[in-house]
Amino acid sequence: MTQTPDTAKPGSLKSMRRLAEPLVEKLVALNGALAIIFVVLIMAFLLRDGLPVFRSVSVSKFLFGRDWYPLSDQFQTLPLILGSLAVTLGAVVIAVPVGIAAAVYLAEIAPVRVREILKPTVEVLAGIPSVVIGFIGMVVLAPWVKGAFDLPTGMTALTGSIMLAFMAMPTIISISEDAIVAVPRDYGSGALALGATSWQSIAGVTVPAAKSGIIAAVMLGIGRAIGETMTVLMVTGNAAVIPHSLLQPVRTMTATIAAEMGEVAQGTPHYFSLFAIGLVLFLMTFAINLIADLALQRTRVRR
């Protein structure tokens, strides 16, 4: 600390300031801890209003039972968990390869001018509200899916996966691109000097060197997809049954909370069960973010 000796007379404005300083620092530190406080508070509220559901249903029934019939007090969430996983998996299958390929293109191949047009476009995609994406999915994609696969309805897991893929892509692209750009130029140049083509240098040296960052990008993309609410609520058809194919309606955990919370009375098992689903979601995204953070930490340590 660069504290100067306090020469001010006691009681003067200057000494008041000196006295106030430690107080201010305490206040600032308290605000610094805000993020921790809110994570803990969110967790606490999910536990407080979620755990009581296990008075009416066992943990294993809640997680692995097949019947989600809130009206007859059946709170078994396997169809919802599988619904979330199915939609997310479909989104990942589309968004990961396409997103990483676009990131490699933007970072390594695209001419500066092209990149300056494409990057804002990706940012626009990131900025479109999920309810607008859901609306587009409903009126544009769903009829197309219905026609293309000759289905009774276009509101399917696949429709949700496609829309979610586009919502996860900006995350995957921008974080992967940052990771690729951060690889020291010398790595690629070394490969080129040994006679490799640019593609060999990109695929064999640069991209592998950015692996941790790309893993983090994929994890965060998955987190975004699994937590997305409005889009899946609007386009997946919301049938709480165990999904057997991507071409049938499903209902995700997020959509269930959004659709049913408005109608339940506080303190009922249904109310508690929706908080418990929130708790499961929170723990899932917490784990996903933790993995992503560890991966990013590794890239920082190495450089």
Partner 1 sequence: MRLHPMVKQRIAFAILSLSTIFVVLPVLAVVYLLLARGLPAINWTFLSQSPVHMMREGGILPAIVGTIYLIIGTTVFALPLGVMSAIYLSEYAKPGPFTRLIRLSIVNLAGVPSVVYGLFGLGLFVMLLHFGASLLSGSLTLAILTLPVVITASEEALSSVPQSFRDASLALGATKWQTTVGVVLPNAVSGIITGLILGIGRAAGETAPILFTVAAFYLRDLPHSIYDQAMALPYHLYVLSTQVPNAPPKIQWGTALVLLALVLGMNLVATTIRAKYRRARKW
Chain positions 126 to 185 lying near partner 1, rule: CB under 8 A, are: 127-132, 134-136, 138-140, 166, 169, 173
Least gap, CB of 159 to partner 1 (angstroms): 14
Question: 202-221: which residues touch partner 1 (CB under 8 A)?
Answer: 203, 220
Asked if 260 contacts 134 with a C-beta cutoff of 8 angstroms, the reply is no
Of 52, 56, 285, 298, the one binding partner 1 by CB under 8 A:
285
Question: 225-264: which residues touch partner 1 (CB under 8 A)?
Answer: 226-230, 234, 254, 257-258, 261-262
Least gap, CB of 141 to partner 1 (angstroms): 10
Least gap, CB of 99 to partner 1 (angstroms): 7
Least gap, CB of 215 to partner 1 (angstroms): 15
Considering Cα of 185, then 190, then 195, then 201, what sign does the dihedral take? negative
Of 79, 83, 90, 99, the one binding partner 1 by CB under 8 A:
99
Least gap, CB of 152 to partner 1 (angstroms): 19
Least gap, CB of 211 to partner 1 (angstroms): 18
Cβ proximity to partner 1, 76 vs 88, nearer residue: 88
Q: Establish if 75 lies at the interface with partner 1 (CB under 8 A).
A: no
How many residues contact partner 1, by CB under 8 A?
A: 89
Q: Establish if 295 lies at the interface with partner 1 (CB under 8 A).
A: no
